[in-house]
Amino acid sequence: MGSSAAAGLGQIGNIFADNNAESQAASQATQEAAAAAVAAANALNLSAANNAASEQALASTKSLTAADRLLFDAQSQNNNGRSVRRYTDLDLFFSKKIYNSDVSEVVDIQAVKRSVRNLVLTNIYEKPFHPEIASGVRGMLFELMTPVTAVIISRQIEDVIVNFEPRVKLVGVRAIPDLDRNAYEVSIEFYVVNTPTELVELTIFLERLR
């Protein structure tokens, strides 16, 4: 009698243990399913966020490209006083305007050409507090007139334009010796940032000062 009761209690305990194991297994499976669902939702949200960011970047790139085309359309912007790409400088001949007493201005390509000419003709220590802004080509004019000297003059002009005139996209510089006049004819070709479709050629005649 006692042994049969103990056996029955043991069977009941085994049943409860099996039920607890099944409950724990079911709970663990539920938690894993919930975690998988959360991970999938996060992945979907991340994908949607990436798509939105890509679309926004593409839209901003398209608008920026259109804005750049508008800014670099020099023919429509040169005569617009509100254009941020309009280059203006004083006329160094200090001629007077016709309609008032102000000094005349040079704009855009003409202003950049004046600036390039000034850089080429500037001597070292000629510009106050900025001795580095100079081409130094005048010192080369007293050297022997050889192809090597012409190459050095061209390189010095290229360096000063590239370093100190950001409005210019330089194409090339040629220094041609003129043996009869003991001088150099310098030809500079470049594009102005404001008018990238128009090639500008500037010719400067370098000779010794007597």
Q: Where are the domains of the chain?
A: 107-207
Q: Give Cα 21 to chain centroid, integer Å.
A: 67
Residue, of 38 and 15, whose pLDDT is higher:
38
Task: Mention the CATH class of domain 107-207.
Answer: alpha beta
- Would you say residue 75 has pLDDT above 60? no
Does the global pTM surpass 0.85? no
Q: What is the pLDDT of residue 190?
A: 93
DSSP string, 21-57: HHHHHHHHHHHHHHHHHHHHHHHHHHHHHHHHHHHHH
Q: State pLDDT tens for residues 91-138.
A: 766 677 776 777 777 777 888 898 899 999 998 888 888 888 989 898
How confident is residue 206, by pLDDT bands cut at 50, 70 and 90? very high
- Most confident range (mean pLDDT) of 14-28, 82-96, 102-116 is 102-116
- Would you say residue 61 has pLDDT above 60? no
Q: State pLDDT tens for residues 178-189.
A: 988 889 999 999
Q: Which residue has the tokens 């940032």?
A: 193
Q: What is the pLDDT of residue 77?
A: 46
Arithmetic mean of pLDDT, 13-31: 59
Write the CA distances from 39 to 35, 43, 47, 135, 180, integer angstroms. Answer: 6, 6, 12, 65, 85
